[in-house]
Structure 1
Amino acid sequence: MKKLIYLLFLLPLALQAQDGGENTVITNKKNEFRVDVLAALVYTKASFSYERFFGKDFSTGFNVNFSNSGKLNDDFDNGYRNNVPKFEFNPYLRYALSKSKSRYYFAEVFGSYNGGDYKEIVRIDGMAMPDYYTTKKSKYTDFGLGGSLGYKMYFKDSFALEFIVGFGSNLTNRDKSPDVISRVGLNLGYRF
């Protein structure tokens, strides 16, 4: 009976020590680089992220996207949409919602500096001729804010798999830029 009681007291300590060792290995690695596989396959967009870990639960980083999707460009040229995003720079701050460092949920706030092409129909005063309408193309840039939720897991203390979903709104140039900005991704990464 005494052995069983000792075992019940020592088992949580042993599990905590084992988990602490795993967390220590990951915690000692402060940098992470990720590539968004979902963006590359579905949206034909190159998306790269860098993250730096601070303290226990906080991290900060940035995400860079470049897009030149044939489908979006065709929709833009054929008049099905009036803007097409070309680039994004998203700095973010994250907070881990779970205790484990090898598998955890997180919340994030992010900013977005984004830009692309914009198209509108304008009326031209013909002076000597009748007025007419034409399509005018221009560039746009905007800044937005948003929030995200995600889940991250590590394999072999270095390889990361991350799923993230977030939305925000552009703030300064809403007549030309998209109203809603999104951060949806399935990222593969390496922590070092």
Structure 2
Amino acid sequence: MKKLFSLVLLFSLLSQAQQNSVIAGKKNEFRADVLSAVVYSKASLSYERFFDGDFSTGFNINFSNSSKLNDDFDNGYRNNLPKFEFNPYVRYALSKSKSRYYFAELFGSYNGGDYKEIIRLEDENGIGYYTTQKTKYTDFALGGSLGYKMYFKDSIALEFLVGFGSNLTNKAKSPDVISRVGLNLGYRF
């Protein structure tokens, strides 16, 4: 019985090592965020480059044109409307397996969109009135994320990611918090 158990364990370790070496040989990955597309009507695409060891780097691009968010913005329920994000990041794998692992991420975010505020103006007779003024904003944020990634058939990636950052330069117009939440499907090659 001990020999059978040892043989099964050895086979399991060898197949895991073989799978890790196949995945480790593939250095590039493209992903699309399914959760953002369904829930937020946001297109979110990512590219990641893997290095030897536990580090990788990449970037994520988001474009948003949600009718719900646009309606909330136009009806005055929110004063800013995020339109785009460019998020470069660096990741560190917290697990030793290459096929299933947890990771930590540090990211930056160049983001922008529309901002709306109510301002007071005066006509030529000195009579004051209020109007809504729309402007554009851009900002830069820093943040961190945690996630879990697994591979199927040595190339198909499934990734879950949760993270938050804070805008730094234009706090009067931009959102205070930038979130990175996603359920990504990808292909590693």
TM-score by length of 2: 0.95
Identify the match of residue 183 of structure 1 among 173, 177, 180: 180
Given the alignment, which residue of 41, 47, 51 partners 1:50?
A: 47
2:18 aligned residue: 21
> 1-side partners of 2:3 and 2:22: how far apart?
29
* CA drift at 1:123: 0.9
Determine the C-alpha separation between the residues in 2 that align with 1:14 and 1:184.
37
SS in 1 for 2:175: coil
> Counterpart of 1:101 in structure 2: which amino acid?
K
Distance (Å, rounded) in 1 between the aligned partners of 2:44 and 2:185: 11
- Which residue among 107, 110, 114 is the counterpart of 1:110? 107
Within a 5 Å distance, the mapping from 1:131-150 to structure 2 comes to 131-150=128-147
Secondary structure of the corresponding residue to residue 24 of structure 1:
helix
- Alpha-carbon distance in 1 for matches of 2:2, 2:78: 69
Which residue does 1:164 correspond to in 2? 161
Q: Relative to structure 1, is the Cα distance of residues 120 and 14 closer, same or farther in structure 2, using a 3 angstrom cutoff?
A: same
**C-alpha separation in 1, matches of 2:2 and 2:156:** 39
Give a deviation string over 1:40-75, Cα, whole Å, max 9, x none.
Answer: 000000000000000121000000000010010111
Rg bigger for which structure?
1
CA RMSD of aligned residues (A): 1.6
**Partners in 1 of 2:67 and 2:8 — Cα distance?**
58
Deviation readout 1:13-43 (Å, 9 max, x if unpaired): 5543332111000000000000000000000
Match of 2:77 among 61, 75, 80: 80
Residue 89 (1) aligns with residue 81 (2): no
Unaligned residue ranges in structure 1 (runs of 5+): none
Which residue number corresponds to residue 31 of structure 2? Answer: 34
Moved more, 120-129 or 149-158: 120-129
Aligned-pair identity in percent equals 75
Number of aligned residue pairs: give it. Answer: 189
Query: For structure 2, which runs of at least 5 residues remain unmatched after alignment?
Result: none
Give CA deviations for 1:100-146 in whole Å, capped at 9, x if unaligned.
11011000000000000000111112341411111110000000000
